[in-house]
Structure 1
Amino acid sequence: MVKNFLICWMMICSCCISFSTAKSNFHPYHVSATEIEFNPKNSTLEISIKIFIDDFENVLKKNYRQKIDLHKAELRSNMDQLIADYVNKHLFVISKNKKYNTQLFGWETNQEAIIIYASAIAPVFDKTNIEVVNTVLFDLFDDQMNIVHFFVDGKRISEKLSIQKPRIKLSY
């Protein structure tokens, strides 16, 4: 009887340990945060995007079918290309019917997130006619939310984008 109890207890403990280890990167929310600020001095859009790193690695693997590891220095130049391509396809600003694509400026990681820095030259930017499209990770999660904070002249407008609402129109 004691032997059966010990065997059962060991099996339960090992299952709990393996489950907790397997789920260590799991998070129940799929969300990113994007900040876009118009800099009138040099007519640029300055952009930062913060995304859970495990989700971003998974979407890059899905889209590019390559080995993805954002922490390995030897893969950095290849990761630069993939990140630039992905962000350029999934985040852009439109003003006066002109689409402004992003140029990757750089990126950094921590244990939980990747922070991507980009910019776009916007010489004919009209702050009364802005549209932002952000479909980052929509190709991975149906419940993905992308929070966008847009700044012009020190004023912020924030919106939540989803697969049902991938774009917003703003006017300052």
Structure 2
Amino acid sequence: MKILKKGLLLLLLPLLAFTVVHKFYISVTHVGYSNKDKAIQITTRVFLDDMNAVLEERYDIRSNLGTGSESESDQTYLKKYVRTKLVVEINGQQVAYNFLGKEYDMDMVVCYLEIPEIDLSDLKSISVENEILTDLYDEQQNVVHFKIDGKKKSHVLIKSNTKGMLNL
């Protein structure tokens, strides 16, 4: 019986050694159109600990987003990072967006972006290139949901495919 238990332990031990908790690396971005404001409105949700980690890695700083120690510098680096990693094109042309602000929702940072003065009748296509966190995590998935003028489309973007598009 002892030999059977030892044999079973030897068989199961290698399997147990490789069962670790795997963390998900994901962000979710919603792209919509506001008829009232005549603007493209974008919200991006990213896990706070991942955002702090990428800011620390990329800019060699101690990031304290979402804590009582958050500084103006932390917010500046957040905006800078989002602007370099989230690119929007309208009708094939890259456009600038306004970083309206951010808020915290439990363990997430939610960034609010807007492209003003967009006439829906002139909008033929919109694309989002989202490389947020792909420079830190190879497993990162950035989900982008488009909902404009009754058309919906979703994309799961990964490090090797970072662009999603909606044709209108």
Q: 1:90-144: CA deviations, max 9, x gaps?
A: 1121112321233221112244211111212253664432221111101111111
2:59 maps to amino acid: Y
Question: Does the CA contact (< 8 Å) of 1:37 and 1:150 recur in 2?
Answer: yes
Give the equivalent residue in structure 2 for 1:135.
Answer: 131
1:87 aligned onto 2:82:
yes
CA–CA distance in structure 2, aligned partners of residues 87 and 102 of structure 1: 11
Matches within 5 A, 1:119-134: 119-123=114-118, 126-134=122-130
Stretches of structure 2 lacking an aligned partner (at least 5 in a row)? 1-19
2:154 maps to amino acid: S
1:144 aligned onto 2:127:
no
CA–CA distance in structure 1, aligned partners of residues 81 and 30 of structure 2: 17
1:36 maps to amino acid: V
Q: Give how far 1:76 is off.
A: 3.6
Question: Does the CA contact (< 8 Å) of 1:91 and 1:102 recur in 2?
Answer: no
The partner residue of 2:113 within 115, 118, 124 is 118
Question: Does the CA contact (< 8 Å) of 2:91 and 2:124 recur in 1?
Answer: no
Question: Does the CA contact (< 8 Å) of 1:45 and 1:121 recur in 2?
Answer: yes
Q: Give how far 1:27 is off.
A: 5.6
Question: Does the CA contact (< 8 Å) of 2:65 and 2:75 recur in 1?
Answer: no
Q: 1:20-64: CA deviations, max 9, x gaps?
A: xxx9xx862110000111224433221111111111100011111
Question: Does the CA contact (< 8 Å) of 1:148 and 1:161 recur in 2?
Answer: yes
Question: Does the CA contact (< 8 Å) of 1:70 and 1:109 recur in 2?
Answer: no
Q: Give how far 1:74 is off.
A: 5.0
CA–CA distance in structure 1, aligned partners of residues 139 and 110 of structure 2: 21
Number of aligned pairs?
148
Question: Does the CA contact (< 8 Å) of 2:40 and 2:118 recur in 1?
Answer: no
Q: Give how far 1:73 is off.
A: 4.4
Which 10-residue stretch deviates more, 125-134 or 100-109? 125-134
RMSD: 2.2
TM-score normalized by structure 1? 0.76
